[in-house]
Amino acid sequence: MSAAPQRVIIVGGGPTGMTAAHALTRAGIDFVLLEGRHEIALDAGCNLVLSSMGMRALGQLGLLPALKKVSSPVTKFQRLDHKGRDIGDTMFFTYIQQSHGYYPRVFSRYNLMQVFYDNLPAEVRSKTLANKKVSDIRSTEHGVVVECADGTSYEGCMVIGADGAYSVVRKYMRELALKDEQRANTEAFVNEEKPFLTTYRCFWIRFPVLPGLKVGDAFETHGPNMATQFFVGEDSAVVGIYERLDEPTRDPRRCTVVDEKPFVEKWGNLPLTKGTTLTIAEAYAQKMDAGFINLEEGVVKHWSWGGRMVLAGDAAHKFTPSTGAGCNEGIIDIVVLANHLRRAFSSGAPSPDKLNAAFKEYQDARYELATFGCKLAGNTTAAATWPNAIYKFLDLRVFSSKMIQKFFINQGVATTAQTPVFDYIEGEEEIVGKVPWVHAIPSRTQIV
Ligand SMILES: Cc1cc2nc3c(=O)[nH]c(=O)nc-3n(C[C@H](O)[C@H](O)[C@H](O)COP(=O)(O)OP(=O)(O)OC[C@H]3O[C@@H](n4cnc5c(N)ncnc54)[C@H](O)[C@@H]3O)c2cc1C
């Protein structure tokens, strides 16, 4: 059998996979991206907030001007309880702006994905293939063969699994690790079959920007067993309603349209904003689109297998949405991974050992931060849904204090300031605040 092409196969065309497509293009590494849905940019899902960390990395890829056009800055969360009482605003976004010089920005997922797609060079766009649901992955002597449900197959030297919380790449990594007889201690490389625990489900509703709502407005409703996060975007408003399940589960129930009515009957009266009388039921009555998502949480133990497959984004770590971190962290995964891959591919097709070393350095750089981010997000969702008197007290009396908010943001800003950059893409620093970035965007002469 001849050697597999020196090509990376990216499975999944979400934000992580599309960041990888841009990053590999800039690194001069050949790739093909396989996306199971019928289009890369689909009007599916919730709004997303990208922070200075994610925006800076996408800025290095040349996407900042296009991203700014389709997003709006968010300055604060206006918070209320289930009875509509003001429980104090959180000013995290403003404090982030004061430190990094940039307000986080809210996007519809559709607009974000469209920017990713439209800004790929035309000759590269043809390497991002929709309608390619990956159904099998085989490791061969020379590389990997990825089979799709439509009968096509693709050969490469490695796979990036950017295929979300129910990753098939992770599933095949596990099967291969279980079969691998050559390793002395097979157990040490085998991931759990169901690494994520689901404590909450989310029902999201997209509806028009109704009178009384302003683009960039953000609200949260907190209270027992249910909290909302509501963003008013450029072209629509989207609320995510996070409901605590009776029991946490590793086998979350798939909810469908028949579950919507009882859900809205249960929570419909709850208010969504300060200054208007808008309720969940009224938002639902005006819906352009809606759906359920499970909010899995967890960090996968082994992010790669055999120098052939590596995970990134939600496939590797899954957070609740409350801190708006999942997509940002997936982008930074790719920054770190792409830096290592560029070095590994610099002198031709890398051996599995070379790739294995690159994957290990990548996971070592990312694992602890992902674990911390996962816990922080879970605790933030718990605080908003008041599972007990302690969380309720923290939410109402502690997190409403501007001094405490500043304290937390200062800790976060110090960590964010250390975010790595693509070390092979020159550019200007466009996001500048009073806290300097530890790793500067390189100039042409600094790139080796
Ligand atoms: C309600 C809500 C609000 C959120 N808000 C924020 C926020 O404000 N900020 C933030 O940073 N994050 C936020 N997140 C998290 C963010 O959406 C995810 O972290 C992000 O989408 C992860 O991107 P990904 O590309 O890794 O995975 P995904 O977005 O899940 O994309 C995976 C892709 O892989 C494809 N795929 C799956 N299986 C296959 C297969 N077999 N073959 C081919 N393709 C396949 C899927 O179709 C999909 O396109 C939020 C999440 C939710 C649920």
pLDDT of res. 443 = 86
Say if ligand 1 is within 6 A of residue 252 CB: no
Sheet-wide strand order for 144-148: 134-139, 144-148, 153-156
What's the pLDDT band for 446 if we cut at 50, 70, 90?
Answer: confident
Q: What are the residue ranges spanned by the domains of the chain? A: 8-67+102-195+298-385+397-446
- Ligand 1 atom index nearest CA of 167: 38
**For 2-11, 168-177, 347-356, 421-430, which range has the lowest pLDDT when averaged over its residues?**
2-11
Q: What atom in ligand 1 is closest to the CA of residue 314?
A: 26
185 confidence band (pLDDT: 50, 70, 90): low
At 256, the amino acid letter reads T
Query: Are residues 278 and 271 in contact, defined by beta-carbon separation less than 8 angstroms?
Result: yes
Q: Is 37 in the pocket of ligand 1 (CB under 6 A)?
A: yes
pLDDT for 90:
94
- pLDDT grade, residue 310 (50/70/90)? very high
Question: According to the model, what pLDDT value does residue 448 have?
Answer: 76
pLDDT at residue 3 tops 80:
no
- The Cα 135–Cα 128 span in angstroms is 17
CB-based burial label for 121 (10 Å; 0-12, 13-18, 19+): exposed
The confidence band for 183, taking pLDDT boundaries of 50, 70 and 90, is: low
Share of the chain above pLDDT 90, in %: 86
Say how many C-beta atoms besides its own lie within 10 A of residue 89's C-beta.
Answer: 20
SS3 247: strand
Per-residue pLDDT at 32 exceeds 80: yes
Residue nearest atom 53 in ligand 1 by C-alpha distance: 321
| Closest atom of ligand 1 relative to the 231 alpha carbon | 8
Q: Is 104 in the pocket of ligand 1 (CB under 6 A)?
A: no
16 lines ligand 1 (CB under 6 A): yes
Nearest CA to ligand 1 atom 9: 324
User: For residue 181, what pLDDT is reported?
Assistant: 61
Check if 36 has its Cβ closer than 6 Å to any atom of ligand 1.
yes
CB 89 less than 6 A from any atom of ligand 1 = no
CA distance 262 to 255: 11
Average pLDDT over every residue of 409-424: 94
Q: Is 18 in the pocket of ligand 1 (CB under 6 A)?
A: no
Instruction: Please tell me the distance between residue 326's alpha carbon and the centre of ligand 1 in angstroms.
Output: 8
pLDDT of residue 2: 59
* Residue 163 Cβ < 6 Å to ligand 1: yes
Pocket probe for ligand 1: among 22, 47, 48, 159, the residue whose CB has the most ligand atoms within 8 Å is 48
What pLDDT is attached to residue 328?
Answer: 97
Q: Band of the pLDDT at 253, cuts 50, 70, 90?
A: confident
In angstroms, what is the C-alpha Rg of the chain?
Answer: 22
Is the model's pLDDT at 288 over the cut of 90? yes
Query: Are the beta carbons of 104 and 49 closer than 8 angstroms?
Result: yes
pLDDT of residue 46: 79
Q: What is the mean pLDDT of residues 256-282?
A: 95
| Paired tokens of 260 | 């919507």
Q: Is the pLDDT at 273 greater than 70, yes or no?
A: yes
Tens digits of residue pLDDT in 49-95 = 999 999 999 999 999 999 999 999 999 999 999 999 999 999 999 99
Q: Which of 251, 258, 286 is nearest to 272 (CA)?
A: 286
The pLDDT tens digits of the residues spanning 315-341 come to 999 999 999 999 999 999 999 999 999
- Note every long-range contact of 121-130, with CB atoms under 8 Å and residues 24 or more positions apart, other chains counting: 121/25, 124/21, 124/25, 127/21, 127/31, 127/32, 127/33, 128/13, 128/18, 128/21, 128/32, 128/33, 128/35, 128/40, 129/32, 129/33, 129/34, 129/35, 130/13, 130/35, 130/37, 130/38, 130/39, 130/40
Q: Which range (44-48, 308-312, 375-379) has the least confidence? A: 44-48
230, 292, 314: residue to mutate for ligand 1 pocket, most atoms within 8 A of CB: 314
The answer, yes or no, to whether residue 1 has pLDDT greater than 70, is no
Structure tokens belonging to residue 231: 């963003």
DSSP three-state, residue 86:
strand
- In a mutational test of the pocket of ligand 1, which residue from 239, 327, 334, 374 has the highest number of ligand atoms less than 8 Å from its CB? 327
Q: How far is the CA of 141 from the centre of ligand 1 (A)?
A: 32
User: What confidence score (pLDDT) does residue 131 get?
Assistant: 97
- According to the model, what pLDDT value does residue 41 have? 81
Nearest ligand 1 atom to alpha carbon 165: 30
Rounded average pLDDT over 17-36: 98
pLDDT tens, residue by residue, 204-246: 999 999 999 999 999 999 999 999 999 998 788 999 999 999 9
Question: Going by C-beta distance under 8 Å and a sequence separation of 6 or more, which residues neighbour residue 23?
Answer: 61, 334, 335, 337, 338, 422
> Which pLDDT does position 234 carry in this prediction?
79
Length, in residues, of the chain? 448
Q: Which CATH class is domain 8-67+102-195+298-385+397-446?
A: alpha beta
pLDDT digits (tens, 9 = 90+) for 9-22: 999 999 999 999 99
* DSSP character at residue 269: T
Rounded to the nearest whole angstrom, what is the distance from the C-alpha of residue 34 to the centroid of ligand 1? 15
Measure the CA–CA gap between 303 and 359, rounded to whole angstroms: 8
pLDDT mean across residues, the chain: 94
Question: What stretch of H or E contains 9?
Answer: strand 8-11
Q: Ligand 1: does its nearest atom lie under 6 Å from the Cβ of 327?
A: yes
Ligand 1 atom nearest 163 alpha carbon: 34
